[in-house]
Amino acid sequence: MAKQIPVPELVVPADEYDSGGNPFDLSGRHALVTGATRPIARAIATALAEAGANVSVTTIRDDSSEAAEANSILEACTALGRSGTTRQLDLTDPVAVEAAVAAIESEVAPIDILVHAVHEANIKPVLDSSLDDWHRELNRNATSLFVTTQAVGRRMVERHYGRITTLTSVLHDRGAPHAALFGASQGAVLGYTKSLGLEWGRNGVTVNSITLGFFDDVPGLHNDEEVHAILERYIPLRRLGKPEDVQGAVVYLSSELAAFVNSETVLIDGAIAAHA
Amino acid sequence: MILDKFDLTGKTALVTGAGTGLGRAMALAMADAGADIYGAARRMEPLEETKRLVEAKGRRMEIGSTDVTVTEAVNAMVEDAIAKFGRVDILVNNAGITDRGRGKTFPELDDEDWRVGIDVNLSSAFYCSRAIMEHFLEHGGGRIINVASGWGMRAGRNNFMYSIAKGGVIQLTKGLAMTYARDNIRSTCIAPGSLPKEIELNQREQNNAFQPAGRVGWPREMGPLAVFLASEASDYMSGETVLLDGGSIAGGLLPAGYAPEFEG
């Protein structure tokens, strides 16, 4: 049964109008980027580091080639003078994730910012898809989010501070042929994100999603050459997204003063959803 | 570097309704990010206070009394801003009213209630955007940030002009995004929830209980989002509305304050 969560103590800012200084500076924060295996995760991790945060990273699977990529992303962050660590693990394994989160916190610092950067798509007709395909898609994109946010969020809720950002596709509520399994996983991620923000919001933990349109360097339908060419003309801003296009939103949502943005999606899509 | 992309140094922002509340907060945050400000509102006195606060940050601010529901006045405002600063890079359509027709039932709303409610909250954004567009096109681009409301997405009993106008603002944002996508003009929208200004703390505490976040917002929380949307850091966004509402739309299905039990 639902219970009422107490209203937090009223904190009055020094000035109710003035946000003061540089609200995007994340110095002193520790960010964890889970699923740091792709260019978009690299863009996210380096943006957080450039904004001043210490950054740690993990793989999606317990896989050494993923670990090499995660290490390379960590190196890009530490090259900016930040500290952080990396872990090779399976994000759908609650025991491994709990152990990794505990170790990362003790090695670096408590985690203030979590970006779950897992964003992969299996584009396949439903009639050709097996039940295993379905489970793999849901496990990689949605189960990994549940497991990760539970381990990290439990600590954030206790400490009354956290900024969690998930990635979703515009396919969370739109459709495309051969994207049914992927779309289902994105609907799962977004529904989870919105309820989780409400569950933890009064504990100072916000949970939001960045919703991507069609991006280069992200697996999906648009990697088909013909589809890519059509999209370049159809997307109002006349190009597909680049990994660095998510950096501003990640830094903003990870900042302290984004406290009142919660259970929300920030759409970064070159305006395609405005006319699609 | 990402922090440089949030920088507004050398930019000028025209903010309507800049005298109080969210308009003042956005003006101050954009000034912090390096922008100069042209502020418009009906009343000069609050504008003068915003100007003092912006100037205290070392930025320049010019102000003008404007009725944003009158095309001639809006055109004159835009001309004045361009004359004073040479160019305008960012337009924030923030002016609005919530109280027109309040307390009346649907049949009691008269034509004047409808016209004023729609004019101040919706037509003003259309007039201002139209007035600035030629200038934006001449100068190779610009940013429009509209201010809607959660009421632009949901309905309430006897709430007509406000929710319909704000819904219109969300659609105006998309229309401008589509129309000028190839001209380096971005159009985005912020939909604030409850961010009251200058209310008594006990009133604030009472209101807090009705919010999913457990609190209403402070105007200062609007500023960084406006800076983000005005800056290069949001270059691949257009047509989009971002909610700043402490989860009020997402959490609207349950009475505020209730959530499943959890340990921790």
Provide the sign of the torsion angle of the four alpha carbons B217, B218, B219, B221, taken in this order. Answer: negative
B224 touches A: beta carbon within 8 Å: yes
In a domain, A17, yes or no: no
- Encode pLDDT of A25-65 as tens digits: 999 999 999 999 999 999 999 999 999 999 999 999 999 99
CA distances to A171, B151, B189, B237 from A273, in Å: 10, 21, 14, 10
CA distances to B54, B93, B148, B169 from B77, in Å: 19, 13, 22, 21
pLDDT higher than 70, residue A244: yes
Is A85 buried (19+), middle (13-18) or exposed (0-12) by CB count in 10 A? middle
A135 touches B: beta carbon within 8 Å: no
* Angle, helix B21-32 to helix B223-230, in steps of 10 degrees: 60
Alpha helices in chain A (DSSP H): 39-50, 64-78, 94-107, 131-138, 144-159, 180-200, 225-234, 247-253, 272-275
Q: pTM surpassing 0.80?
A: yes
The pLDDT, as a whole number, for residue B263 is 41
- CA A88 to CA A66: how far, in whole Å? 8
B236 touches A: beta carbon within 8 Å: yes
pLDDT higher than 60, residue A167: yes
What confidence category does residue B257 fall into, taking pLDDT thresholds of 50, 70 and 90? Answer: low
Structure tokens at A52: 């001043």
Task: Give φ, ψ of B143 to 5 degrees.
Answer: -125, 135
> Which residues of chain A are within 8 Å of residue B231 when distances are taken between CB atoms?
248
- Nearest residue to B181 via CA among B142, B147, B145: B142
Option in A13, A198, A248 nearest B228 (CB): A248
In a domain, A14, yes or no: no
Provide the sign of the torsion angle of the four alpha carbons B167, A190, A87, A60, taken in this order. Answer: negative
In a domain, A204, yes or no: yes
* Size of the A and B interface in Cβ pairs below 8 Å: 222
- CA A14 to CA B254: how far, in whole Å? 33
What is the interface pTM, i.e. ipTM, of the complex? 0.96
Shortest CA gap A258–chain B (Å): 7
* Nearest residue in A to B260, CA atom: A2
- CA B167 to CA B71: how far, in whole Å? 21
Residues with Cβ within 8 Å of residue B92, at least 6 apart in sequence? B13, B14, B15, B16, B23, B26, B144, B145, B147, B226, B230
Asked if A3 and B243 come within 8 Å (Cβ–Cβ), the reply is no
What confidence category does residue B25 fall into, taking pLDDT thresholds of 50, 70 and 90? Answer: very high
For the domain covering B2-243, report its CATH number: 3.40.50.720
Within 168-207 of B, beta carbons closer than 8 Å to A belong to: 174, 177-178, 181-182, 193, 195, 197-198, 201, 204-205
The pLDDT, as a whole number, for residue A7 is 83
The pLDDT, as a whole number, for residue B127 is 98
Asked if B28 and A237 come within 8 Å (Cβ–Cβ), the reply is no
* Cβ–Cβ under 8 Å, residues A261 and B223: no
Domain with A42 in it: 30-275
**What is the amino acid identity at position B132?**
I
- Encode pLDDT of A58-81 as tens digits: 999 999 999 999 999 999 999 999
Asked if B220 and A199 come within 8 Å (Cβ–Cβ), the reply is no
B6 touches A: beta carbon within 8 Å: yes
- Encode pLDDT of B183-232 as tens digits: 999 999 999 999 999 999 999 988 888 889 999 999 999 999 999 999 99
- Encode pLDDT of B71-91 as tens digits: 999 999 999 999 999 999 999
What confidence category does residue B258 fall into, taking pLDDT thresholds of 50, 70 and 90? Answer: low
The CATH number assigned to the domain holding A63 equals: 3.40.50.720
Domain count, chain A: 1
- CA B122 to CA B146: how far, in whole Å? 10
In a domain, A237, yes or no: yes
Averaged pLDDT of chain B: 94
